[in-house]
Chains A and B, each alone.
Chain A
Amino acid sequence: MNQTIYPDRARVDARDKVRGVTRFAADMPMQRVAHAMTVPSRIVRGRLAAVDIDAARAVDGVLAVLTWRDFKGVKSAGYLMGGGFGFQSHQPMLSDRLVHRGEPIALVVAETLEIAIEAAALVEASYEEEQFAALLGDTRAEVLAPQPGHDMGDAQAVLASATFRVDAEYLSPAQFQNPMEMIATVAEWRDGTLTIHEGTQNSGALKFGMAAALGLDPARVRVESAYLGGGFGQKNSLQGQTVLAARAAMLLGRPVKLVMPRAQLFHTASFRPASRHRIRLGADADGRIVAASYDADMQNSRPDTFRASFSEITARLYAIPNYTSTARLVRTDVQSPGYMRAPFEHPAAFAFESAVDELAYAAGRDPLAFRLANDAETDPVTGHPFSSRFLAECLRDGAERFGWSRRDPAPGSMRAADGTLIGWGVAAGAYKAAMAPAIARLRVRADGTTRISLSGHEMGQGIRTAIFAAVTDGLAIDPARVEIVIGDPDAAPQHVTAGSWGTASSVPVVRRAVQAMQARFEEFRDGRPIRGTIHEMLARWRRPYIEVESRLQAPGQPDTVFDRLQRGLPAAAGPEYEPFVSFSYIAHFVEVRVEPTTRHVRVPRIVSVVDCGRIVSPRTAESQVRGGVVWGIGAALRETAEIDPRFGGVLNNDFAEYVVPVNADIGAIEVGFIDRPDPLLNEAGVKGLGEVAMVGVAAAIGNAIFHATGRRLRELPIRIEHLF
């Protein structure tokens, strides 16, 4: 087990980032780069009857205006969850068929961005419009047959006879990731090789997806994704625009840059779909949860099947012996939804942890004591042990830090001197501890440098810092000259970085590489005395470098997963491993203050305590939790896409109107870590952190609002109008 206690250290890229030195894709300096702009479709669904590009082409400085007729021979790279590489199977501009609002119908390429924008506005189109469904509840939406989820015991029968019962429906809206860095591609076609610069979480899928789309040999496609300005799942696969930019670069023989405008990203990239959750819970007279049923509806696109998985965590948060769940997918005319941070777990925890709170009140129990009393010791789904589970410790430690014992449980009972209503709420969260296969190559050179290349993408979460911590732990190398190469499929095969498996997949494989390096070094040393660093010894021995390779897969994964890794396909595993089950856990304690007159809700403080195994990079880990909690506050109180069912599309498609929290909305966030290494999942003892951080925040806030006001609010976001 990993005994290392990792020291606090700054991000390895902090200095460069604050000085603006770090290069993101759109910053790549490039000779003769041409600028592209998309023309969005103005209908939701139908056929592009005609497109008039003459006026656009006549603008001085326009190099080309491409329409679907210029994409003959280009194919869709397929849907990521269906064996392909794209966030959706529908690749815009391959035909005149239009399936969602805002999809590009033309691409203008010009000498400057301003010219491209001007000309794009001059493209005129006519459409044959068809009827469509914009929303989950739309009558024209297609509701698929319910799919069974997790199922244990006989939930319906036990529910019917339970002493205390809750039966309620919870709603979660469509939301958009909105990373600061917009999705941007710079495509270069030179000497038969295509190079894509793009901030992506999945450079492997881009490499093989672009090869598939354009009919190229994957060896002729290079992808570079050294840094992302945030991804949150929106950049986890091939984007339609990448194909457009690449095609333009190949036709023009010039590098082409395409930065999608913020407003268009609400329609051309993935998002968190709207969902509806009906939860029934039953408890016995002793306050034990005896049964739960969970039926969900989740929005989907027409062409793709993005499966719902709301029961993965909710079947296991507590020791509930009888559990049943279904999910219905609802097809609407939107781009395909996907994995936005804690994709299922955030809405599931809002619904389930609100319902558990309701049940605690129905049973007359303290919500914290109720949760502790229902903790699970083994996995209720498989009967297998958890590799590690410190949820109760998170709850106890959080309660202690928060001062929960001073809480008066009666709703509306706590008030500040000026009459402000005070509410304290708690909720738990979990997220699968997943791992993906990885291959690392470590080279220590006599010239004082070290290079480690492996799978991983730096989206700001701090993966470089974690890798740095692992590579400098136990190796006598110069820490100032370590080069970390990630997001480059030609340096090492790249797996999508998502699902909180980044650290759990990269740190253990780096530790293995370090051990291999130590062993090789000992072989060379052959008993000779050590004086100085490995670099100095190599110089003395006149060896230019030592290189080792290590590989690692998730427990129980066959070696064939490396083939998938090498081909840019998803190959992660978890939470069920043979013969154990792995999750990360979190407990959130929230104080809200509600103005008695205007009912304005504020969140002055939150305490969040996490069990994510061993902490490798304390500072970036804490920052992950803060970020997740901030997002949870936004998701609970602000974030929603305004969609008019008559028109489809998102109306509040900019940062002025898509309301996320500002600094002034955020109070104190105290973060605690259990920091106990997981003994089974991997040799670093790491589980995962990024996603679990926001799971349960919204429920804790809703529960606190109930405690403050006596109002149980079951629809996100909870806005001021809901309190009148």
Chain B
Amino acid sequence: MRPFTYARATSIDGIHAVQSATGARILAGGTTLYDLMKLGIETPGHLVDVTSIAGLDEIRSHQDELIFGALVTMSDAAAHPAVLQRAPVLAESLSKAASPQLRNMATLAGNLLQRTRCAYFRNGPEYPCNKRMPGSGCAALDGLDRGHALFGGSRSCIAVYPGDWAVALAALDATVDVHGSRGMRTLEVANLHRLPGDTPHLETVLEPDEMILNIRVPVGRLGQASTYHKIRDRESYAFALVSAAVALELDDGMVRQARIALGGVATRPWRVPAAEAALAGQRLDRAAALEAGRVAFADARPGQHNGFKVALGTAAVADALMIAAERSPSR
């Protein structure tokens, strides 16, 4: 770990100026940032602690929208009655993530920006890794790729985006409000992360001086009939082997709208529009759900050790659709 300086901000004014002047990093819960600093992967010289900024730790429930402040903790959001009731997919994506201790510290904005768990990335310079050291190669391509991507990979990197929350947000067409030297702008969560391409070290479209302020989730007719179905190596405290964030609008058993996003299998939160389209206008039964699962994984490009995720993911999507349907006010 390298020495660094630390300052606490009490308002968003001027943060971007500090960021651009010093290359500072924003510190929220620290559960990703400190971890990566200890591993020598992140080496910021200066940290701006934003956790004392007032007004960013609220959840607002409006008629058509849930708005989450950047500093809301994972545990608070997961337990919020409006979230549980109006969009269980969001609450479940948080309560099934990490551990209670981590959820108590971690913030919703920090969560979006967590980095891959690729072991080669995390383990140090003896392993070639383009994300950690651009141009050094990718040890995972011919290596232990059980946890690597079936979607969105490139010849440079097949690292999975590990988070759950962003996958649920992508399913619901959520957006983030970001603030930087160029003022405010709004981005779709589904477009926040980049595909690795030839530059896997560039992970998001955020500018270095931008800060996330809010996360907005439209919840109208879509939301209540939703679930986050996460398959992992143990019942808790594990990243997803495969996950499916699903939201449905049903009308008398017929699908009016379906949203499906996959986690644990792609280089970024992965919407599967073809599977959504395959369900539209269909009666949702087990067979239709399985077919949607198959469509969702039709373009999967498995490696050496992760081929089982095609069948597992197909089943997970199907199960998620059936669970979500159970929650529909009008089945």
A644 with B143, Cβ < 8 A, contacts A598-B315, A724-B311 known: yes
A651 touches B40 (CB 8 A): no
Q: How far is the CA of A43 from the CA of B308 in the complex (A)?
A: 33
A651 touches B315 (CB 8 A): no
Q: Does A664 contact B (CB under 8 A)?
A: yes
A646 touches B117 (CB 8 A): no
Tell me how many residues of B have a C-beta within 8 Å of chain A.
Answer: 33
Q: How far is the CA of A114 from the CA of B3 in the complex (A)?
A: 9
Taking CB as reference atom, which chain B residue is nearest A646? B143
A597 touches B315 (CB 8 A): yes
Q: Does B123 contact A (CB under 8 A)?
A: yes
Q: How far is the CA of A55 from the CA of B3 in the complex (A)?
A: 14
B308 touches A724 (CB 8 A): yes
Chain A residues in 8 Å Cβ range of B124: 42
Interface residues of B in 210-240 (CB under 8 A from A): 231, 233-238
Q: Does A665 contact B (CB under 8 A)?
A: yes
Q: Does A721 contact B (CB under 8 A)?
A: yes
Q: Does A642 contact B (CB under 8 A)?
A: yes
Q: Does B89 contact A (CB under 8 A)?
A: no
Chain A residues in 8 Å Cβ range of B231: 598, 600, 720
Q: Which one, B1, B119, B143, B316, contacts A657 given CB within 8 A? A: B119
A659 touches B318 (CB 8 A): no
For chain A, what secondary structure do more than half of its interface residues adopt (helix, strand, loop), or is it mixed? loop
A662 touches B308 (CB 8 A): no
Q: Does B34 contact A (CB under 8 A)?
A: no
Q: Which one, B40, B119, B311, B312, contacts A121 given CB within 8 A? A: B40
A644 with B316, Cβ < 8 A, contacts A117-B1, A720-B231, A720-B241 known: no
B234 touches A659 (CB 8 A): yes
Q: Which one, A651, A653, A659, A720, contacts B144 given CB within 8 A? A: A651
Q: How far is the CA of A720 from the CA of B2 in the complex (A)?
A: 40
B238 touches A42 (CB 8 A): no
Q: Which one, A114, A644, A661, A665, contacts B139 given CB within 8 A? A: A644
Q: Does B125 contact A (CB under 8 A)?
A: yes
Convert A93-117 into 0s and 1s, putting 1 for each residue whose CB lies closer than 8 angstroms to a CB of B.
Answer: 0000000000000000000001001
Q: How far is the CA of A720 from the CA of B237 in the complex (A)?
A: 17
Chain A residues in 8 Å Cβ range of B308: 720-721, 724
Q: Does A719 contact B (CB under 8 A)?
A: yes
Taking CB as reference atom, which chain A residue is nearest B322? A597
Chain A residues in 8 Å Cβ range of B123: 649, 651, 653
Q: Which one, A121, A653, A664, contacts B235 given CB within 8 A? A: A664
Q: Does A652 contact B (CB under 8 A)?
A: yes
Chain A residues in 8 Å Cβ range of B126: 42-43, 647
A182 CB, min distance to chain B CBs, angstroms: 15
Residues of B within 8 A of A (CB): 1-3, 40, 117, 119-120, 123-127, 139, 142-144, 146, 231, 233-238, 241, 305, 308, 311-312, 315-316, 318-319
19 contacts between A and B (CB under 8 A): A42-B125, A42-B126, A118-B1, A118-B3, A121-B40, A599-B315, A602-B235, A638-B234, A642-B144, A647-B139, A651-B120, A656-B117, A657-B117, A662-B235, A663-B236, A665-B234, A720-B233, A720-B241, A724-B312
3 nearest interchain CB pairs? A664-B235, A721-B308, A651-B119
Residues of A within 8 A of B (CB): 42-43, 114, 117-118, 121, 597-600, 602, 638, 642, 644, 646-647, 649, 651-653, 656-657, 659, 661-665, 719-721, 724
